[in-house]
């Protein structure tokens, strides 16, 4: 990852000098945070969050020194069925207020390959904060052809336990493990 990221940084700045860490902001229109869980063994149920915001401090010369921070309103959750979304906002689960958010702030990055890393951070969800690890892949670092500015793209995955965050209603019939898939784009901050 260090070699790939270093080369990308040189291409972005167009000089032989090493780029300083750069700030990027999430492009919410091209980013998704999806989750899925087992529903009583009959199906896998999917949902997603929208309306999120965040930024990345990207250090191409030393990727382990990079950082990420993301937050999204709990009530931005979309499950594809209004009654289920409403149930998730009930006292059985989130009992969320309009201003309640889910947030993630990285605490460390371990580079594991040419374009992979494990991003460890604090996930705050439903009033509980726990450390989680995201298996991340750098999809691309380069110039966005339409925006004509520096752009990053990452995918990441993790698995959470609902019960760790006080959301374990109906477990184990409804799966306690929730698979999370993240795909984000971020543009260089102005």
pLDDT digits (tens, 9 = 90+) for 143-175: 999 999 999 999 999 999 999 999 999 999 999
Residue 4: what pLDDT? 43
Residue 163: what pLDDT? 97
Predicted confidence (pLDDT) at residue 18 exceeds the cutoff of 80: no
Predicted confidence (pLDDT) at residue 104 exceeds the cutoff of 90: yes
Q: Going from the N-terminus, what domains does the chain have, and what CATH number goes with each?
A: 2-188 (2.40.128.110)
Residue 20: what pLDDT? 86
Residue 52: what pLDDT? 87
DSSP codes joined into one string, the chain: -HHHHHHHHHHHHTSSSPPPPEEEEE-GGG-EEEEEEEETTTEEEEEEE-S-EEEEEE-SS-GGG-EEEEEEEGGG-B-S-HHHHHHHTSTTTT---TT-EEEEEEEEEEE-SSSEEEEEEEEEETTEEEEEEEEEEEEEEEE-TTT-SEEEEEEEEEEEEGGGGT--TTTTTB-SEEEEEEEEEEEE--
Average pLDDT score over residue span 104-120: 97
Residue 11: what pLDDT? 40
- pTM of the shown model: 0.88
Residue 50: what pLDDT? 87
Mean pLDDT score of the chain: 90
Percent of the chain with pLDDT over 90: 87
């Amino acid at each position: 990852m260090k070699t790939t990221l270093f080369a990308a940084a040189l291409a972005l700045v167009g000089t032989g000098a090493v780029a300083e860490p750069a700030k990027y902001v999430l492009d919410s229109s091209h980013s998704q945070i999806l989750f899925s869980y087992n529903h009583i063994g009959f199906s896998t149920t999917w949902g997603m969050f929208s309306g999120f915001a965040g930024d990345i401090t990207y250090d191409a010369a030393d990727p382990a020194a990079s950082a990420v921070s993301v937050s999204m309103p709990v009530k931005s959750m979309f499950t594809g069925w209004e009654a289920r979304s409403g149930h998730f906002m009930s006292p059985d689960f989130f009992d969320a207020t309009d201003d309640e958010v889910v947030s993630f702030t990285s605490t460390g990055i371990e580079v594991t390959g040419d374009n992979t890393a494990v991003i460890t951070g604090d996930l705050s969800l439903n009033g509980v904060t726990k450390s989680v690890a995201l298996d991340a892949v750098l999809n691309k670092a380069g110039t966005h052809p339409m925006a004509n500015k520096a752009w990053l793209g990452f995918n990441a995955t993790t698995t959470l336990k609902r019960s760790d965050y006080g959301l374990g209603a109906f477990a184990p019939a409804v799966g306690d493990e929730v698979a999370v898939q993240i795909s984000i784009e971020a543009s260089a901050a102005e």
